[in-house]
Structure 1
Amino acid sequence: METTTQFTTIWNDNIAYAFGLYRLITQSLGIWPFTCHKFISKCQVLIVCVLQLTMMISIIGEMHLQCGEVSDKIQNISLCSCAFMTIVKVTIIRAHNPRMHEIMMSAMQDWLCVKTADDNKKMRSCAKLGRSICLFQMIGAYVTAIPIILSGFAGHSAVNTTNSTDSDIKILPLGTVCLFQQMSSSFYTSVYIIQCIQLLITCTGNVGCDCYFFGVTMHLSGQIEKLTDDMERFGKEKEDTDCHEKLVALVKRQNHLLELAENLETTFNIVILVELSALTYEICLIALQMVVNLRMGNSVVIINNIIMLQILYLQLFLYSYAGERLSSGLENLGSAIYSSEWCDSPSKVTKDLIFVMMRCRKSFALTAGKVCVMNLESFTNIIKAVGSYFSVLLAMFD
């Protein structure tokens, strides 16, 4: 109750601009840090996981019955992978709620402590980047889901099954026509609505959690850049006491931001590892599906495939860019201290600066399961690897 009251007290227009979208997304999934203690939030997480699990089971059951075309099977595998990713992201972020609460609380305090127009401009710039990416990703995700959701309105379709002759079967968004055969109208409507909800949750949970991570990371990297500027300006005060107190404040701020970055890495490193594996697999499958549809001349599905590929590549790029910006920002702190007016500082402060610079040499890296460092170089290597995997899959398909 105290957490909710404190959150309500500090929420203002600037914070709403920076984190309003992520609040909407995470609250719908039950993982907003300031409401995780509520019973309804726990129920939301349970409902999300159950719906995604049943979605996976129904898709796997349909694939086991060996129904549908090759392109349908590829789409089913991709949807199953996305559902699994949603479960992983929601449960892990929920499990690390204390860390995310600390990060978000610090971020909101940062907005409350803005002193200059220049600082406000820089923070809003980082917030704008996160918001723009979030809107672009979420709109793209829902656009790809709309054709799947509206597929049932096309009426009936003749589907070949291994157990029966061609017959008119009602279409479902997940394509589970063999698993749910001979449905009554009321049962069909219920299943259709549930599958639509499952798809929307998949989009929100899978893409939305990535946007949440990226937005928080952009704010944190913005604070690191602000600290870099403060360190470069260090040394203007000539009095020993003032310089020493300012240095202590800068070091405390550095330690605090490094702790937040490590909390973020601890929370998301497993998510990134699973995401990296799933995205590599999904990109290959969707590219393969696009090749199949090109041969069939299905232009509508091809456009949908292109949008999905763009979303997947951008998801991968977001983690790489976020890791690059965090690690490079923390590395630049040492150079910022050296660029300050340390030579004009008192000898006592100058000696302390040596230890601060040594502290800055401690590297930070956003990793995928402590195995792969996420940066722009890794992104290019992953793209090359995906191209190689796709070539192998295409050769096997031919």
Structure 2
Amino acid sequence: MASERWKEDIAYAMTPFKLMVWPIGVWPLQVYNFYSLLRSVLGICWTGIAVILPIIELYMGCTNAEQNVDCLMLTCCGTLGILKIIWFRIYANNLTNNYNSALNDYLTIENMEERATMRKHAFIGRIIFCPLMCFSYFSCIMYALTPFMDYDEKNQNITNEDIVLEYPFPSRCSIEYFHAPTSMYKILVIIEAFAMIVMASANAGNDALFLNITLHICGQVKILRTHFVKFDVTRPQVYDRFNALIQRHIYLIRLARELADTINFILLIQLFFITILLCIMGFQFLIALKIRDTAMMTQSVMVQTAFLIQLMMYTFIGNYLKLQMEEIAFSIYQSAWYDFPAKIMKNIIFIFMQTESPVTFQAGNFITVNLSTLVSILKTSFSYLSVLRIMIET
């Protein structure tokens, strides 16, 4: 019965994320062999389509202002997706250590209270996963369908020779440059739509994978806090039991630092891209609002929502991890610390010193990713958009 229970818990906590990132070769518990590398290479190639074609389109100057924004957005998202696949392969050991630790945690659950805490954090991981992926995929669908919403209107009363072919993302001149036959139009549309879906999995799917294991670490820190609060000095082997808690604390800090090191560079690039794209897509929304272009407004809102969800998830969970690490000291204070032996009292001082500099997510080792970062980015973006709105109206 216990065996079936932990299998169910592991499946509940990890299966959705495995289904999302295994096809692109970054699932931490996979066998890292030639086939996993091949999946990663194919994922990079598919995502690269959404980067290379828009760049060629911009270079050839065949796009209007709206399409230029789309090209820039696709290039940034595709670059992030490729970067995450490569980075999660480079730092595969860090992610593997964390996910193997999570497996071991589910196998060694001591009581139902701890199981409930772990299930709660796994549920939060699913709550993050669903809207993040839904908005990402819905944005891809909108980009795939938008060119066809007014296709008939644009091409009515036009001969077959003069029909302008539209694609899921701006790539008409690029495809013409490679002399792709018109008979392959539907195949090319399917290829581009699939490339956008792979790009969404490489970008948002990897975010969901990373944030899920971060939440698990937060849950383990919360369980450790409970052990500190309930520490019983009247039971035998006081020093050994307290030392085991200290070792667990050190182990969780090491796992959290591995995650922070893995995401460090990616967060720097992601914050840079998201800040720029929020302003550009917001400007596109203001223009669409002025000319009453419903399709463009919907498209802009969905893309901005996907970016904001990505940003909010990292800031909220980064802030949550920091708070959990800091609360270790308060949990010890809530225990019967005044009855501890003198030898243990000396160790408590070092724990307090450690909680003064908790593990945090940082972008490039100089920008702490927390709620203050989110507020700062939003304030800057809205200030910029307010100025642009005044310029448009005047």
Aligned length: 382
**Residue 30 of structure 1: how far off its partner (Å):** 0.5
Instruction: Tell me the equivalent position of 1:6.
Output: none
1:52 and 2:47 correspond: yes
Single out whichever of 251-260 and 128-137 deviates more from structure 2.
Answer: 128-137
Paired position in structure 2 for 1:190: 187
1:237 to 233, 238, 244: 233
Residue in structure 2 matched with residue 301 of structure 1 by the alignment: 296
CA contact (8 A) 1:36 1:42 kept: no
Aligned equivalent of 2:34: 39
Return the alpha-carbon distance in structure 2 between the equivalents of residues 55 and 141 of structure 1. 15
Match of residue 228 from structure 1: 225
**Would the aligned equivalents of 2:125 and 2:215 in 1 still touch at CA under 8 Å?**
yes
SS in 2 for 1:179: helix
| Greater alpha carbon shift after TM alignment, 362-371 vs 381-390 | 381-390
What's 2:198 paired with? 201
* 1:64 equivalent among 51, 59, 64: 59
Q: Tell me, yes or no, if structure 1 residue 109 matches structure 2 residue 121.
A: no
1:345 aligned onto 2:333:
no
Q: 1:393: how far off?
A: 5.6
- Give identity over the alignment, percent: 25
Work out the CA distance in 1 between the residues paired with 2:388 and 2:40.
36
Which secondary structure state, in structure 2, belongs to the residue aligned with residue 170 of structure 1? coil
Cα distance change, pair 296–277 in 1 and its aligned pair in 2 (3 A): same
1:365/1:303 CA distance change after superposition, 3 Å: same
Q: How does 1:251-270 map to 2 (within 5 A)?
A: 251-270=246-265
Partners of 2:169 and 2:5 in 1: CA distance:
43
Give, in angstroms, the shift of residue 96 of structure 1.
0.1
Which one-letter code corresponds to 1:195 in the other structure?
E
| Consecutive unaligned residues in structure 2, runs of 5 or more | 156-160
Q: Deviations over 1:66-98 (max 9, x none)?
A: 234322221121111100110111110111001
The offset of 1:221, in angstroms, is 0.7
Question: Normalized against structure 2, the TM-score is what?
Answer: 0.90
Rounded to whole Å, the distance in 1 between the matches of 2:334 and 2:384 is: 46
Q: Which residue of 2 aligns with 1:12?
A: 7
Counterpart-to-counterpart distance in 2, 1:99 and 1:270: 15
Q: Which moved more, 1:246-255 or 1:182-191?
A: 182-191
Partners of 2:54 and 2:75 within 8 A in 1 = yes
Identify the match of residue 316 of structure 1 among 306, 311, 318: 311
Which 5+ residue runs of structure 1 have no aligned equivalent? 1-8, 160-165
Distance in 2, matches of 1:20 and 1:352, equals: 40
Q: Given the alignment, which residue of 74, 88, 104 partners 1:93?
A: 88
In structure 1, distance between residues paired with 2:43 and 2:360? 31
Partner of 1:370, secondary structure, is coil
Displacement of 1:268: 0.3
- Return closer, same or farther for 1:360/1:295 CA change in 2, 3 Å cut-off: closer
Match of 1:172 in 2: 167
Deviation at 1:396, TM superposition (A): 7.4
Q: For residues 192 and 11 of structure 1, do their structure 2 counterparts lie closer, same or farther at Cα, with a shift above 3 Å needed?
A: farther
Matched, 1:218 2:247: no
1:291 aligns with 2:286: yes
Q: Verify the 8 A CA contact 2:117 2:219 in the aligned structure 1.
A: yes
2:118 corresponding residue in structure 1: 123
- Normalising by the residue count of structure 1, what TM-score does the alignment of the two structures yield? 0.89
* One-letter amino acid of the counterpart of residue 207, structure 1: A
Partner of 1:329: 324
Superposed CA RMSD in Å reads: 2.3
Q: Summarize the Cα distance change of 1:396–1:275 in structure 2 as closer, same or farther, 3 Å threshold.
A: farther
Matched residue, 2:18:
23
In structure 2, C-alpha distance between the alignment counterparts of 1:291 and 1:356, rounded to whole Å? 52
| 1:156–1:169 contact (8 Å) kept in structure 2 | no
